[in-house]
Structure 1
Amino acid sequence: MIDLTVIWASIIGFAIIAYVVMDGFDLGIGILFPFFKVGKDRDTAMNSIAPVWDGNETWLVMGVGGLLAAFPLAYAIILPALYAPMIAMLLGLVFRGVAFEFRWRDPAHRELWDRAFTLGSFIATFAQGIALGALLQGITIEGRSYAGGWWEWLSPFSILTGFGLVVGYALLGACWLNWKTEGALQRQAVTYAGRLGISLLLMIGLISLATLTLEAQYYLRWLSYPGVLATAIVPIATIAVTFLFYRSLRQTKDAQPFFWALALFGLCLIGLGISIWPNVIPARVTIWEAAAPHRSQVFMLIGASIMVPIIVAYTAWSYWVFRGKVGHDGYH
């Protein structure tokens, strides 16, 4: 028998992965933006994401909308628990989007818009990381409602995950620029990618160790025997991918470092899945407890089966059309 709840969990998981992959690198470019030389370097970095940055956020809308439609109980609990970081994320994305457009149309205040672009990118990323950390550390629930306080999301662990995501997105941004640019800007991107790769590995280690102390479920999933024989594959694969990442940087490859960096993110998401599956709210609510009625899932799946391939197709087409490097003239 087909389990529609698992299918919908997979669809939402796919949307989240697609968002991290596609919006992560352009948020990362915003985070790194102050370190690029004013003028052509900043313009080139901006032009490398200009054709795709707004479309990348489609997956965020789909992920959040899918959570509301397919798992309404989870949405009703998570949103009140994370109002503050979610509002901060949305404001950051708004500031970032406005700055992206106005820096070209208002050159007299370009420095102001550049700062807004960086600040919006940092706030949006940091808020996403805090939300993830707050979800992992646990949400207070009574019955079917959120019962925690306004500041429950704020903790040393959630701040750590916030900075961890900032480092990760910055790494993706540096690798993207290595792939899409040339000359001095590309060399600068390679330097930053090398430094950020080590920083991300340290962050992954710290967050992983801290996560084990949050819930007994996490500890048992990762370290109990014989399950540890399977879960040990993830840290071993992380070390192997890190080696391949740095080898591709040393060999001055263009695209490979970006995809190896994505592989690191993929391993982190696999680790997240090992920790929380099959819960939609870790150690609190399973996907089946939070799921919408069967008929609602069937109805929404019909729409998703039409729209998701269309979104994938136009996204792939836009990346194909704007393939290749961006020159200092701003063209691909």
Structure 2
Amino acid sequence: MDLTLAWAAIIALGLFLYVVLDGFDLGIGILFPFFPDQHDRDVMMNTVAPVWDGNETWLVLGGAGLFAAFPMVYSTVLSALYLPLVLMLVCLIFRGVSFEIRTKAQRTKPMWDLAFIGGSAGATFFQGVALGAFLGGIPVADGRFAGDPFGWFSPFSIFTGGALVVTYALLGACWLIAKTEGDLQRRMYRVVWPLTVLQLATIAVVSIWTPLQDAGIASRWFDSPLFYRLLPVPMLVAACAWAMRRSIQSRHEKRPFAMALGFVLLGYAGLVASISPHEIFPGVSLWDAASPRSSQLFTIVGAAVILPVIVAYTTFGYWVFRGKVRHGEHHYH
């Protein structure tokens, strides 16, 4: 068994589940400015209040797995993306504090609304910036980061930051369609299609820009058998958009969220296809960056125990708090 590939798969799964699960509750914060009524905002927050902190478990798992299995990648990425990652964590802290205090606050409630909006939008934006900087290439020499500390700041990374804001906002709107009712749900239906159009535009721009700004990615996409595997992706994106439009017109409650997940899955597949295990950094393969086999074996035993536990309590939490959230209901955690 190739433990290096197994660990890479675990980390990729953890990051994907984080994007899906924390994506829609970050998206709710991004949508907050467009729904100024406090009662609507209370309902929006209550749809994720019981589960939001559990969603972030997957981010911790991905970071811990990276540190355990690929310490060189961990240290290089932190060195290259120190500022955007720190700003992301600061935003997540403000957002977490706002979750805890906003419910009890009276006079200061608008201030905590701003903390929730800024924390959600800021964390999303800096996650997208970090992704764009990683796709743009991180220079490495002698196993260490060898670039500029502000090398992450580029037009491409800024655009990917904005693109992820659109993605999370779409996830959040579709989640709220499934979890709310009445006038708030009707307004969410009106929001989803413009966000879908923006999503399609960002997917198109990133798909064109990514191979143009990195010759290695262009080679993997177009000069290898991978090209034929990626050919169905644009058609699947179009199919998701068509199904989203039909779902909105028919006022289906759960299908829009499934289509939004389809966009995320297809985008993530393109991201994984862009990263070659034979050269995750210039001249550095996945196996070069891996920890010793004994360390991987020791930690994967722990992962085999912890992963089912995380999946079980996450599933249980969503099952317990399934159904609609209505005005006047409160979920404390």
Q: Match for 1:141: what amino acid?
A: V
Aligned to 1:288: 287
Q: Is the Cα contact below 8 Å between 1:21 and 1:262 reproduced in 2?
A: yes
Aligned to 2:176: 177
Q: What is the aligned-residue identity percentage?
A: 49
Unaligned runs of 5+ in 2: none
Q: What's the offset of the Cα at 1:98?
A: 0.7
Aligned to 1:64: 63
Give the TM-score, by structure 1 length.
Answer: 0.97
Label 1:324 to 1:4 Cα distance change in 2 as closer, same or farther (>3 A).
Answer: same
Bigger drift between 244-253 and 119-128 goes to 244-253
Write out per-residue CA displacement over residues 186-220 of structure 1, whole angstroms, 9 at most, x where no aligned residue: 11111111110110110011011110112222212
Aligned to 1:216: 215
Write out per-residue CA displacement over residues 285-315 of structure 1, whole angstroms, 9 at most, x where no aligned residue: 3221111110111110111000000000000
Mapped partners of 1:72, 1:227: distance in 2: 28
Bigger drift between 232-241 and 272-281 goes to 272-281
1:286 is paired with a residue whose SS is: coil
Q: What's the offset of the Cα at 1:225?
A: 6.5
Q: Is the Cα contact below 8 Å between 2:14 and 2:61 reproduced in 1?
A: yes
2:291 is paired with a residue whose SS is: coil
Q: Is the Cα contact below 8 Å between 1:218 and 1:275 reproduced in 2?
A: yes
1:149 is paired with a residue whose SS is: coil
- For residues 1-332 of structure 1, the aligned pairs below 5 Å read 2-224=1-223, 227-278=226-277, 281-330=280-329
Q: Match for 1:269: what amino acid?
A: Y
Q: What's the offset of the Cα at 1:236?
A: 1.5
Q: What's the offset of the Cα at 1:97?
A: 0.7
Q: What's the offset of the Cα at 1:37?
A: 3.3
Label 1:297 to 1:237 Cα distance change in 2 as closer, same or farther (>3 A).
Answer: same
Bigger drift between 249-258 and 322-331 goes to 322-331
Q: What's the offset of the Cα at 1:145?
A: 0.5
Mapped partners of 1:174, 1:145: distance in 2: 41
Q: Let me know the Cα RMSD of the aligned residues.
A: 1.4
Write out per-residue CA displacement over residues 7-48 of structure 1, whole angstroms, 9 at most, x where no aligned residue: 000000110011011000000000111111322111000100
Mapped partners of 1:225, 1:70: distance in 2: 28
Label 1:107 to 1:331 Cα distance change in 2 as closer, same or farther (>3 A).
Answer: closer
Mapped partners of 1:152, 1:210: distance in 2: 18
Mapped partners of 1:259, 1:244: distance in 2: 10
1:49 is paired with a residue whose SS is: coil
Q: Match for 1:78: what amino acid?
A: V
Q: Is the Cα contact below 8 Å between 2:132 and 2:156 reproduced in 1?
A: yes
Q: What's the offset of the Cα at 1:69?
A: 0.5
Write out per-residue CA displacement over residues 247-301 of structure 1, whole angstroms, 9 at most, x where no aligned residue: 1111111111101101110000111111113157355532211111101111101
2:287 is paired with a residue whose SS is: helix
Label 1:317 to 1:279 Cα distance change in 2 as closer, same or farther (>3 A).
Answer: farther
2:197 is paired with a residue whose SS is: helix
Mapped partners of 2:283, 2:132: distance in 1: 15
Label 1:111 to 1:16 Cα distance change in 2 as closer, same or farther (>3 A).
Answer: same
Mapped partners of 2:284, 2:312: distance in 1: 34
Mapped partners of 2:224, 2:284: distance in 1: 25
Q: Match for 1:30: what amino acid?
A: G
Mapped partners of 1:280, 1:65: distance in 2: 22
Unaligned runs of 5+ in 1: none
Write out per-residue CA displacement over residues 59-91 of structure 1, whole angstroms, 9 at most, x where no aligned residue: 000001110110001111110000000000000
Label 1:51 to 1:224 Cα distance change in 2 as closer, same or farther (>3 A).
Answer: same
Q: Is the Cα contact below 8 Å between 2:139 and 2:281 reproduced in 1?
A: no
Q: What's the offset of the Cα at 1:230?
A: 2.4
2:185 is paired with a residue whose SS is: helix
Label 1:123 to 1:327 Cα distance change in 2 as closer, same or farther (>3 A).
Answer: same
Give the TM-score, by structure 2 length.
Answer: 0.96
